[in-house]
A and B are shown apart, each in its own frame.
Chain A
């Protein structure tokens, strides 16, 4: 089985500042890892996914995530936050059986 833990249910940054959203995973097999973004009252949109090809994964909207096996982490970053990045972000893992999602982190961007 597998699971993910997202550290921090709410993160607030200033526009132009670094965005760092944390995700740690647990998996009995080498995992595939995902980040999704959800805007209010909408479905989830895939930002990026890790499938063991490269540890640094680049996604849409300037986001990227780095897989660190030693730390069992897959943190999401963006060098400079934009107001349009305000949303909820979900980390997910697949390995054995169905995909498992974290509880989500709400990102607020202050002007």
Chain B
């Protein structure tokens, strides 16, 4: 079955540590996205990638970094510079970017808690 996987489901981190969240898709989609979800605030876009080896900042990129070395993978690193990293993180992918291609399909999410 095609889909998007995120790991781990739950992640705990001490303050001052960097942590990397995994996102893999086997849908052969070109575009991938990372969102942060906080209660009552909906989804906020962190980074997106339209194609391999290219990515752009979203609305709240500060304190985060990404890479896109393979079409299937789009890992997100939460750095120690992120002031309030405790949140639910969602990865998504779409066939492409722009109208007619941008229906997004989501992974199950990773809940990050900073201790």
Contacts and interface: CB of A to CB of B under 8 A. Distances in A.
A34 B92 CA distance: 15
A30 B58 CA distance: 23
Interface stretch (B12-20, B63-71, B79-87, B101-109): B101-109
A51 B40 CA distance: 28
Contacts of A43: 4, 6, 90, 92, 106-109
B105 A46 contact: yes
Interface in A91-111: 94-95, 98-99, 101-104
A49 interface: yes
Interface residues of B, number: 25
Interface of A: 9, 32, 34, 36, 41-46, 49, 51, 90, 94-95, 98-99, 101-104
Given A103-B40, A103-B42, A104-B40, 13 more contacts: A9-B40, A32-B102, A43-B6, A43-B90, A43-B107, A43-B109, A45-B106, A90-B43, A95-B99, A98-B58, A98-B97, A101-B43, A102-B42
